[in-house]
Amino acid sequence: MRYAGIALVLTLLHLLVAARGGTHADIIGQLLRIGVFASGVCAALQRQRRTRGMGRVLWALLALALLMQVLWAASMLASVLWPAHGLALAIAASVLSALYTIPCMYLITSAFTGREPRLVKALDTGMSVLLAALLILLISTVMGGDTPGDVASVRLAIWHADVIDFSLAVLATVRLVGARGLGRRHFYLATSAFLWVNAIAAAIYNRLDMAGQTWWGPVLLDVAFVLLAVLAWRPPPAWLRRYVPSVQAARLIAAFAPVAISLGVLILGISLSRLNFIGGASAVLLAAVLYGLRVAVIQTQHEDKQQLADLSNRQLLRQLGVDPLTAIANRGALDARMRQILASGVSCSLMMIDIDYFKQFNDNHGHVLGDRCLVQVAAALKGALQRSSDLVARYGGEEFAVVLPDASAQETEQMGQRLLTAVQGLHIAHPSSPLGYVTVSIGVAIGRHDWLDEGDAVTALLQAADHALYQAKADGRNRIRHADGDAGQRAPTFDS
């Protein structure tokens, strides 16, 4: 609240000074503008300190972008105070304005999952730097041409700046639509609102500046920073809490973001090539190379993970053995796989599965047919899995377990439905079952590596899934139930 209030008060003072005019109104107004911009930086840093995980990086990047705007405003003030160095300071202001796009573009286009290879991060940074360099080159080409500073040249530079500003706003809004975490959505809400207002204000301000301005023109640039300070201070609104995009939409948007910056570089490079062919063509070529490298690195990482997952499953089954009856993994392999997943830094989805009314099945059909039923159910569960990294194991008796690494709650739910359908599709006759054939009940729990240490986390995750299984059976069987509690927090424990 403090920084939002300071920004609002300084903006009102800026408006008052601009309205009254006077000899030093311009200098005082620019000092007040710097104060408003600095308040926005402080508000972003304050939110950054109150945020956990990768959200801290996002807010820090936004604060860095805002700092570039503070330095731009300081350069503009310096050009007024020291007119002898006005040209050099104006160039410095243009450079700082372009540098502002680097952290903005990076925070919009990168995935920020914490698992991106360093080379991918470096390539994303390089693409953002290339975009800023193109903007600087464009401005210097336009302003340093045969008729530097003429209306046509300035108008061309302004239009390109508008394209960059509004593109940033659109991309930030797209990231907001595709953000699944509440903290991530709150960040992109604040960022997209700032970028939209800043783009509109800058477009109006630049045109007013060309036309000789009105007294209120410079105050427009303060509005976006006041809005950002307010949004950074306020908790996420109710509608933002309710909105959660689908997994498919989130993944599609996250995958599209790096493409967007490449397209931006290509478009800007093509536009620049009409004025500076070598510079524009070089930028287009470099953008294509950087994006191609990024795709190659991600593809290689995916293949390495797939090979490692295949190898891990094979090694576990070879070292720890398989269940002698069902030929699937045994309890030892299950525990080892869960520890491995949690230690690797990804989420671990566990499904405990119990054959409904199996005691009655054994009583009616005998243990030989009971064992055959176990074998058929195990085969059906194994056949329903979609990834080589997934594991099905016999937990004991008529209980099975399925482990899914790095799967969202929605993906886990979908897999649970596949498992229910797969067992029902066997149509194993079971007179004691309400449906007349064998069904299963499933309890689901999802854990993360930051719960506890791996050993305690495995135990807690098993307890949580077992409790959910008990709830599924209590609710009528042949259904899925999920463990209570936030999977990102310490795993819940239950009475036996």
**Active site positions, annotated:** 398
Residue in the block written with tokens 């016999």: 394
How many residues appear in the chain?
Answer: 496
The whole-angstrom separation of Cα 224 and Cα 132 is 21
Detail the DSSP E strand segments found in 312-453.
Answer: 348-355, 391-396, 399-405, 440-447
Identity of the amino acid at 234:
R
* Residue pair 323/393 in contact by the 8 Å Cβ criterion: yes
The tokens describing 26, both together, are: 């311009």
Is there a contact between 235 and 47 (Cβ–Cβ < 8 Å)? no
Q: Is the dihedral of CA 361, 367, 371, 372 positive or negative?
A: negative
C-alpha span between 156 and 441 (Å, rounded): 66
Pairing of strands 440-447, 348-355: antiparallel
Q: What share of the chain is helix, strand, coil (3-state, %, to 5)?
A: 70, 5, 20
Q: Give the distance from CA 116 to its chain's centroid.
A: 12
User: How far is Cα 473 from Cα 481, in angstroms, rounded to an integer?
Assistant: 9
Going by their DSSP bridges, the two strands 480-482 and 440-447 should be labelled as: parallel
Whether residue 458 contacts residue 338, with contact meaning beta carbons closer than 8 Å, is answered with yes
Neighbour-count burial for 385-409, b at 16+ CB within 10 Å, e otherwise: beeebbbbbbbeebbbbbbbbbbbb
What does the block give as tokens for 210? 């060309």
